[in-house]
Amino acid sequence: MMRHEFPGLQQQVHGKPLVYLDNAATAQRPQAVLDAINNYYLKHNANIHRGVHSLSESATELYEQARNSLARLINAPSEKDLIFVRGCTEGVNLVAQTFVRSRVKAGDEILISHLEHHSNIVPWQILCEQTGAKLKVIPMNQQGELVLDDLDQLLNERTKFMSVVHVSNALGTINPVKKLIAAAHAKDIPVLIDGAQATPHIKVDVQDLDCDFYTVSGHKMYGPTGSGILYGKSEHLSAMPPYHGGGEMISKVTFESTVYNAVPAKFEAGTPNIAGGIGLGAAAEFMMTVGMDKIAERDQVLKVYAEQALSEVPGLRLVGTATNKSPVFSFVIDGIHAHDIGTIIDHHGVAIRTGHHCTMPIFQFYGLAGSCRASLAFYNTEQEVDVLVESLLKAKAMFQ
């Protein structure tokens, strides 16, 4: 599906056609994104929001058009509810330090899940160290799904905030976030959803979810690295203090005091990643042109095909077998270290990820140091899955 739009896929590795199956780490970029970045630097290279000359005005227009595109992608009520950040990691840290920190004290609790990426664990641990709050965890089962039997007890009078991943980067599990949000809101507990792996695969509607915050990582959804957005409900963003101080986030500065700018400028101090923001907007437009429903449908076709194909590799065991998941497959093969597998199949042109995937608690749960991970995007093909399986069989044969 629109594979020809991705020039990075049209290359060889070790003399073999590239089979790129590391999309959960970072996706390839369509030509439209590359063109948008190039166009900015060639024709509109100027700082934004500050100049009255033509280049500055055109650059500002492109940047704010990108914000508008991203708002439409996730159905935000207004583009002003979106803050440009470097990615989900910065978005989570921003919320932790500006919205949550002032709301918690010693003995209070922050609730996350066992399926979290380190970027949705460590910021909350730092916050707990700063405030004396405690980190609580929704457990998981062997299938890689959250166990919600005791959710009502976990969401109690001490719980001040919940932050949960939408789609697991390690296992592909799609969490029932709408249900989780509703349960938290029933007890007046605000919720952040880490959408790094969801946005590339499924249609996200922040108004339907009713989440308080939602993070998006640009390079996972075919956009530039070092780009992303944080969505927040307008009433929260207006009440939050700024995260960084500097230019652009102010309306008046004296040596005695500072008056902060309106949202979203209040959270966007200094010269931003202008090209990255414009490129991310182009990625959003590209995905909407393809159609998120079509992307999700293609993902599920690939998921079913890959599950069957991988089951034919003797000694291969999938780690996490959730019913509702994206086409992300963590696996181990008996008697072969994951790094050896990754190195061997790279010589067949196949790119996968090996290690703990920044989710060490997940693999501690399974008693593993890590796994191989093949993560597919809508531009992958069944033939590429076949190449993956063939390369795994060859790697296995080398160790027999």
Residue 80's nearest CA partner among 264, 272, 279 is 264
Per-residue pLDDT at 226 exceeds 80: yes
Residue pair 84/300 in contact (Cβ under 8 Å)? The answer is: no
pLDDT of amino acid 369? 94
pLDDT top residue among 197 and 246: 197
**Which of the four pLDDT bands, split at 50, 70 and 90, describes residue 250?**
confident
Token readout for 177 is: 């976030």
Mind listing the pLDDT tens digit for each residue in 347-391?
A: 999 999 999 999 999 999 999 999 999 999 999 999 999 999 999
Mind listing the pLDDT tens digit for each residue in 117-151?
A: 999 999 999 999 999 999 999 999 999 999 999 99
Q: Determine which one of 88, 128, 358, 372 is catalytic.
A: 358
pLDDT of amino acid 246? 86
Instruction: Note the Cα 324 to chain centre separation in Å.
Output: 18
Q: Does the annotation mark 88 as catalytic?
A: no
Rounded to an integer, what distance in angstroms lies between the CA atom of residue 396 and that of residue 316? 10
Rounded to an integer, what distance in angstroms lies between the CA atom of residue 32 and that of residue 144? 36
Domains in the chain, start-ordered, CATH in brackets? 32-289 (3.40.640.10), 292-398 (3.90.1150.10)
pLDDT of amino acid 254? 84
**Which of the four pLDDT bands, split at 50, 70 and 90, describes residue 258?**
confident
Per-residue pLDDT at 1 exceeds 70: no
**DSSP string spanning 124-145?**
HHHHHHHH--EEEEE-B-TTS-
pLDDT top residue among 320 and 250: 320
Q: pTM for this structure? A: 0.97
Instruction: Note the Cα 22 to chain centre separation in Å.
Output: 14
| Cβ-proximal residues to 69 (8 Å cutoff; 6+ apart), any chain | 281, 282, 284, 285, 288
Q: What rounded mean pLDDT belongs to the chain?
A: 96
What integer is the mean pLDDT of 331-340? 96
